[in-house]
Amino acid sequence: MNNDAIGVFDSGVGGLTAVKELNRLLPNEDIIFFGDTARIPYGSRSKETILKYARQDVNFLRHHKIKMIIAACGTVSSTIGSKPLVDDMPFTGVVLPAAQAACGATKNGRIGVIGTPATIRSGSFAKAIKNINPKAAVIGNACPLFVHLVENGYTQRDNKITKLAAEEYLTPIKNEGVDTLIMGCTHYPVIKDIIADFMGENVTLISSGEEAAKYAQVCLMENDMLTESTEKGHNTFYVSDSTELFEENAKHFLCHKVNGEVFSCNLEDLN
């Protein structure tokens, strides 16, 4: 057993979709979340910059007592590929868990992937899916505006701007006849209803953040690293920009007000 916290990081607040699922699956676990809100989005950065930021995010989490790290960021997960950022504790990104879920859900073997430009450019989800099911057809498309729309609160199901963006991005994937769609950025589940309305009821949506949380649960159980505590776990949040803006945005991902302490850190603290 291990009573240390689970560390989760993201380029912004999208990784809170993983935190929300962790709270549901493992209610007794403490969670430390870091959101690099001062440097979002990572998806439009170079590979070298993304790796630099990711290592800094990991180093920040390691200043706390943690037993596992989740890179709840599709861009980071796609950039690092199958190589974990740490080797002395369990680690997962969102790519493999989402790929496994998609391969288990698809009936016709046609799987769509949406994500940031860096995620789609990397081809990471397609590689992971092909390793599981070599016969699968994978159709990807970048959705660069989705993160900005979510971050700025354009999330209502009937929002005309976001619906228009969804039509633009999702039409090529829908036309390919996919029956499963991976939301490869942890921001995207916030507009899940808009995506689902356009794709239709016969398409299964896979949340990469939720699948990473499920993967983490199994990993901790198999390694006998779950907490001994029978009390409700604590969430602690750190951000590299405004705590007020974080709390305002976070409620869209958590579906409730932030239930934990929120602290601001300087970018210098990440080095």
Q: Would you please indicate which residues are annotated as catalytic (active-site) residues? A: 73, 185
User: 138 - beta bridge partners?
Assistant: 111
Residue 95 φ/ψ, nearest 5 degrees: -70, -55
CA distance 184 to 196: 15
Q: Read out DSSP for 98-153?
A: HHHHHHHH-SSSEEEEEE-HHHHHHTHHHHHHHHH-TT-EEEEEE-HHHHHHHHTT
Rounded to an integer, what distance in angstroms lies between the CA atom of residue 154 and that of residue 215?
Answer: 30
Q: Which residues 6+ apart lie within 8 Å of 244 measured at CB?
A: none
Phi/psi-derived region of residue 71, left when phi > 0, alpha when psi is between -120 and 50, beta in every other case:
beta
Token pair for 169:
């991005």
Q: What are phi and psi of 179, to 5 degrees?
A: -115, 0
Read off the amino acid at residue 235. Answer: N
